[in-house]
Amino acid sequence: MFLNTTLCYLLRDGKYLMLHRTRKEKDINKDKWIGVGGKMEAGESPEDCVRREVLEETGYALLSQRFRGIVTFVYGEITEYMYLYTSEDFSGTERDCDEGELVWLPKDAVYELPVWEGDKIFFRLLEEEAPFFSLKLVYDEAGKLLQAILDGKEQAAAAFAGRSND
C-alpha cells in the first residue's frame, strides 16, 4: 500500500508547533509528538494538502510554506511518501485539534519528546538549514528504526540524529 502525506512544522519565536497525538484510539502516531499534516485527497497537490491540513488541525492559514524534503517511510507492507514543509508565514487564530494537543515548544525540546527515531534526523536537517533532501526511513513492525538513507547514502541513524531520546 502506498500513501502520500504532508507534514508541516510551524515556527514562531524559536519554537515549533507540535501536536501530541492522544485523541484517536487507532493511530500509528498514538502518544507521539509530530507536526501537523495528513493524507492527500484526490486531486490535491502537496501544497493544497499541507495548506488544508494545517488549517483544519490548527486554525492557521499558511500564507507561504517552504518545501524542505521528501521523507519515505517503509513499515511492513506500507510505503508512505511524506512531503515535509516548514512555515513562519501564517495567520489566524489557533483552535483546538481533534487529534491531540497543540503546544509551542522550543526547537531543541523535540529531541527529548517521544517522537519517531527518524524524526530526529529530519529535525537535525531542518536545524542545519540543509538543502532540499530525500530521506528514507525503514521501520520494523514494532516501530524500531532499522535503516536511514539520506540522499541515497545509508546513515548511522543514532549518530546522524546527534541526540538520543533516552
SS3 87: strand
State how far Cα 92 lies from the chain centre.
21
- Mean confidence (pLDDT) of the chain: 91
Of 85, 101, 107, which is closest to residue 163 (Cα–Cα)?
107
| Residue 153 cell numbers, joined | 547514502
Q: What confidence score (pLDDT) does residue 136 get?
A: 97
Tell the residue number behind the cell numbers 533532501, with chain if given. Answer: 133
Backbone angles phi and psi of 70, in degrees to 5: -115, 130
Q: What confidence score (pLDDT) does residue 159 get?
A: 52
Domain locations in the chain as residue ranges: 2-116
Distances (CA, A) of 104 to 28, 58, 116, 140: 22, 12, 18, 30
76-117: per-residue pLDDT in tens? 999 999 999 999 999 999 999 988 999 999 999 999 999 999
Of 115, 101, 97, 123, which is closest to residue 11 (Cα–Cα)?
123
CATH code linked to domain 2-116: 3.90.79.10
Q: What confidence score (pLDDT) does residue 127 get?
A: 94
Q: Categorize the per-residue pLDDT at 44 as very low, low, confident or very high, splitting at 50, 70 and 90.
A: very high
| Residue 1 cell numbers, joined | 500500500
pLDDT greater than 90 at residue 21 = no
pLDDT greater than 50 at residue 164 = no
**Pairing state of beta strands 78-92 and 36-39?**
unpaired
SS3 15: strand
Question: Are 94 and 18 spatial neighbours (Cβ–Cβ below 8 Å)?
Answer: no
137 against 164, higher pLDDT:
137
pLDDT greater than 80 at residue 58 = yes
Q: What confidence score (pLDDT) does residue 30 get?
A: 76
